[in-house]
Copies of this chain bind each other. A is one copy, B any other.
Amino acid sequence: MVDKPVRIQDVARAARVSTATVSRALSTPDKLSEETRKAVFEAIRLTGYRVNQAARNLRMQRAGAVLILVPNLSNPFFSQILAGISGVFMETDYSVLIADTRARGADDTRLVDYSLARVDGIISLDGGLRPEIMAEFADRGAGDRMLFACEWVQDTPLPSVRSDNVTGARLAIQHLYDLGHRNIAHVTGPEDNVLTHARRTGMLEQRARLGLPVQEDWIIRGDFSLDSGRDAARRILEMAHRPTAVFCASDQVAFGLISTLTAAGVRVPEDLSVVGFDDIELSEYYVPALTTIRQFRRTLGARAARLLLDRLTGARPDLPDGDVLMVDVELVVRDSTAPPPSGR
C-alpha cells in the first residue's frame, strides 16, 4: 500500500513541538534539550519520517548534488575511481550525478549550463575539457566548487588529485634497467593528454639519468587503448633493430601489445619485456601476469570527494603547492619482465 509521505509537520505534531524544532533536531541536535531531542527522534522513528530533499534544497538554495564528469563511462579504468567518490558522498545528503563527456550527443558547451545549474560541485576525471569551457566554468563561479581527479587541465587554478605519474614512469624504467635492459621503447597515451605528458617526462628523465640512448622511433604514439597497443606491436615487429623492452602508458596498451606480439611469435618476457601502467584488476591474471605501476584509484576518488565536500561545506583545507594532492604509486613486478635475451 502506498502511504502518503510524512512531512515535518506530522513529526512536529507527534512530538508536540514546532516544525522548527524538528528541523533543528536534524541539523543541530546539540542545540536542543535532551528531553526535546529524544521526543523528536522518537516521533521521527514512529512516523517513519524522511526529509524531502527537494524542499530542503529549494530552501537552502542549493542543488543537493555533485556532478562527476567521466571521459568514457564504459572504460573500466574509471569505475573504481567512481566507487571511491560514490562511497564518500553516500554518507552525505549530496546525490552523485554522472555524465559521460565523450558520449554521443554530449556537447560540452551545454555541459556547462547543465552542470552549474543543477549541481553544487563538480569533479572532473576529464583533463581534456577545452579551454573555452574551462573559462566559462571559471566565469560562472565554479572556481570554488570544481576540481580534478586523475586527469587535470594544465594552467587552470583548480585543485586536482592525481597519481604520481612521473615517479611511476621512473620506477618502470629503473626496473627494466636493473634487469639489464638498455634498449627501451615507450608507447605513449594520446598526444594532448596530461597523463601522457607526465609519464613521458618521467620516462625521459630517468633515461637521461641512467645515460640511456634516446632513439626517436622508439617513442610510439598510442592512446591508452587496446587497439593502440596492437598498432604499436605491428610497428615494433617491422623494426630492423627492435627494443628489448617496452614501457606502455596503460595496462590496456600493454595487453594489446602482448596479444599481438604473441600471435606473431614474439615471446613475452623471453624475447621482449613489457611494463604497463595502472594495475587494473585483470593485470594479475593476464598471460603473462603483467608487471605494472599500481595506481590507487579508489583512494584517489575518495580523496577528491572529500576535498570537494570540504569546500562545499565551507571548510578550506590547506592544499600543498599548486593545489595538487599527489597520490603515491608503486611498482608491481610480475611475469612480463625478465632480463633481455643474451647477446643484446
Residues of chain A whose beta carbon lies under 8 Å from any beta carbon of chain B: 1-3, 5, 48, 50-55, 57-58, 62-65, 73-76, 78-80, 82-83, 86-87, 90-91, 95-100, 103-106, 113, 117-118, 139-141, 226, 229-230, 252, 255-256, 258-259, 262, 281-282, 284-287, 289, 298
Asked if residues A82 and B73 are in contact (CB atoms below 8 Å), the reply is yes
Asked if residues A87 and B103 are in contact (CB atoms below 8 Å), the reply is yes
Residue A3 contacts which of B55, B140, B286 (CB distance < 8 angstroms)? B140
Q: How many copies of this kind of chain does the complex include?
A: 2
Least distance between A22 CB and chain B CB atoms (Å): 16
The contact sample of 19 A-B pairs, CB cut-off 8 A, is A5-B117, A48-B113, A51-B117, A65-B95, A74-B281, A76-B79, A82-B98, A86-B98, A86-B99, A86-B100, A87-B103, A90-B99, A90-B103, A95-B95, A95-B118, A226-B284, A226-B285, A259-B286, A286-B287
Residue A55 contacts which of B58, B98, B104 (CB distance < 8 angstroms)? B58
- On chain B, the residues within 8 Å of A75 by CB distance are 79
- On chain B, the residues within 8 Å of A106 by CB distance are 90
- On chain B, the residues within 8 Å of A298 by CB distance are 74
- On chain B, the residues within 8 Å of A52 by CB distance are 58, 117
